[in-house]
């Protein structure tokens, strides 16, 4: 039996990785076609998240004719695409979440949707550590001084230096794929780890207010949900010890960024490091761009060569399960 597969990637290499992984992992004959979607796929938004309607739907519908399995990074599985693709049975998204798939409509159409949880856990955890250290060692600021011809000696003064990780406490808010990785890495630094995650039972788990009170560093790793929306605001930052450091490589919605800027300006926070923002790209003129001791990266924590390779392997392994008639490991449910 030959399975018709469409690899709908956003990038030549991405598609190659997906196809190589399929050939490696999936038993039997595959008839693989390719569709390269533009990156970023407008009007999807920054990382290609969309519910319905897009200008690539027509192209996708055409490419899905007679196709049983689609592997993709960001192709939209809208109701219109589903209605026009009666042969489709499996839609495998190589992202940490089943982005751009209308799960209700897929369920009604009998199309299974899988995704690749944890694909970028290591990349994001490593970036979190890099950001935490960069903020507390003030690496971007001192680099900028040097690049501007200024050799400052006062960085050794007590008020200008941050806490060490060794022997200090790091509070992790969210203990899923990424939070756990960060905790493992922090062991090597000699830090004490506290965790706040209502849904995970782990030694060192505390309520959020205790975590904030006791932590010299707080790093956020919860998903954006109605419950986590704005969970770190002025009151929570005020509860952190003076001179502590806040890191957000999760989602902008978790944090009140105005409160972060206020706390940096007043000196209550020694530093903050952010990879994600309420509005991306950050609008020109935003206060974030001029707040002292706020270091920023443009939502790239999850990016690495391994992330792309992991994504391809996780997706291909589920396609292989599908072909063998086994239960799918990473099935997305509405």
Residues with a known catalytic role: 251, 280, 299
Q: Pick out residues in 251-270 that bind ligand NAD (CB under 6 A).
A: 251
Q: State the binding string over 89-118 for ligand NAD (x if CB under 6 A, else -).
A: -------x----------------------
CB of 98 to ligand NAD, least distance (A): 13
Q: List all residues 6 or more positions away from 94 whose beta carbon is below 8 Å from its beta carbon.
A: 14, 18, 71, 72, 73, 115, 116, 119, 311, 312, 314, 315
Query: Is position 47 an interface residue for ligand 3PG (rule: CB under 6 A)?
Result: yes
Q: Where do the H-state alpha helices sit in the chain?
A: 12-25, 57-63, 79-83, 103-109, 121-137, 139-147, 177-189, 208-214, 234-239, 257-266, 305-324
CB of 230 to ligand NAD, least distance (A): 11
Contact pick of 4, 119, 181, 321 for ligand 3PG (by CB under 6 A):
119
The DSSP code for 34 is E
Question: For residue 229, what are its two tokens?
Answer: 């929306």
Q: How far apart are CA 96 and CA 315, in angstroms?
A: 11
Number of residues located near ligand 3PG, criterion CB under 6 A: 8
CB of 221 to ligand NAD, least distance (A): 5
Q: Are the CB atoms for 86 and 60 separated by under 8 Å?
A: no
Contact pick of 81, 88, 250, 315 for ligand NAD (by CB under 6 A):
250
Contact pick of 61, 112, 224, 328 for ligand NAD (by CB under 6 A):
224
Contact pick of 4, 80, 138, 196 for ligand NAD (by CB under 6 A):
196
Query: Is position 177 an interface residue for ligand NAD (rule: CB under 6 A)?
Result: yes
Q: Is 286 exposed, middle or buried (0-12, 13-18, 19+ CB in 10 A)?
A: middle
CA atoms within 13 A on the CB side of 311: 28
Lateral strand order in the sheet of 269-274: 192-196, 169-173, 217-220, 244-248, 269-274, 294-296
Complex with ligand 3PG: residue 271 or 302, whichever CB lies closer:
302
Q: Which helix (H) or strand (E) holds 112?
A: strand 112-114
Per CB under 6 A, the segment of 33-41, 61-69, 103-111, 167-175 that binds ligand NAD is 167-175
Query: Is position 158 an interface residue for ligand NAD (rule: CB under 6 A)?
Result: no
Query: Is position 174 an interface residue for ligand NAD (rule: CB under 6 A)?
Result: yes
- The site partner of 47 among ligand NAD, ligand 3PG, none (C-beta below 5 to 8 Å per kind) is ligand 3PG
Lateral strand order in the sheet of 2-9: 29-36, 2-9, 69-72, 90-93, 112-114
Contact residues: ligand 3PG, CB under 6 A: 47, 95-97, 99, 119-120, 302
Q: Where along the sequence are the contacts to ligand NAD (CB under 6 A)?
A: 96, 120-121, 124, 173-179, 196-200, 221-225, 227-228, 249-251, 275-276, 299, 301-302
């Amino acid at each position: 039996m030959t399975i018709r597969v469409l690899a709908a990637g956003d990038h030549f290499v991405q598609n190659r990785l997906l196809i190589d992984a399929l050939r490696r992992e999936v038993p039997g004959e595959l008839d693989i076609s390719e569709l390269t979607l533009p990156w970023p796929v407008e009007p999807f938004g920054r990382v290609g998240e969309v519910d319905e309607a897009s200008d690539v739907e027509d192209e996708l519908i055409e490419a899905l004719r007679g196709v049983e399995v689609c592997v993709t990074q960001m192709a939209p599985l809208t109701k219109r695409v589903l209605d026009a693709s009666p042969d489709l049975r499996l839609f495998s998204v190589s992202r940490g979440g089943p982005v751009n798939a209308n799960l209700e409509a897929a369920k009604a159409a009998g199309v299974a949707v899988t995704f690749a949880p944890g694909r970028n856990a290591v990349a994001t955890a490593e970036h979190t550590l890099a950001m935490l250290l960069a903020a507390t060692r003030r690496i971007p600021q001192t680099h900028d001084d040097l690049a501007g011809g200024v050799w400052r000696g006062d960085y050794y003064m007590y008020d200008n230096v941050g806490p060490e990780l060794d022997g200090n406490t790091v509070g992790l808010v969210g203990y899923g794929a990424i939070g756990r990785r960060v905790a493992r890495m922090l062991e090597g630094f000699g830090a004490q780890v506290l965790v706040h995650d209502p849904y995970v039972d782990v030694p060192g788990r505390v309520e959020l207010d205790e975590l904030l009170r006791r932590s010299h560093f707080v790093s956020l790793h919860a998903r954006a949900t109605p419950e986590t929306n704005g969970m770190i605001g002025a009151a929570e930052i005020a509860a952190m010890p003076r001179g502590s450091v806040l890191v957000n490589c999760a989602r902008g919605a978790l944090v009140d960024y105005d409160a972060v800027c206020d706390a940096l300006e007043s000196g209550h926070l020694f530093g903050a490091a952010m990879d994600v923002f309420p509005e991306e790209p950050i609008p020109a003129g935003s206060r974030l761009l001029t707040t002292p001791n706020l270091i920023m990266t443009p939502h790239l924590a999850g990016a690495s060569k391994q992330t792309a390779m992991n994504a391809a392997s996780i997706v291909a392994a589920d396609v292989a399960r599908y072909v063998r008639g086994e239960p799918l490991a990473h099935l997305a449910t509405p």
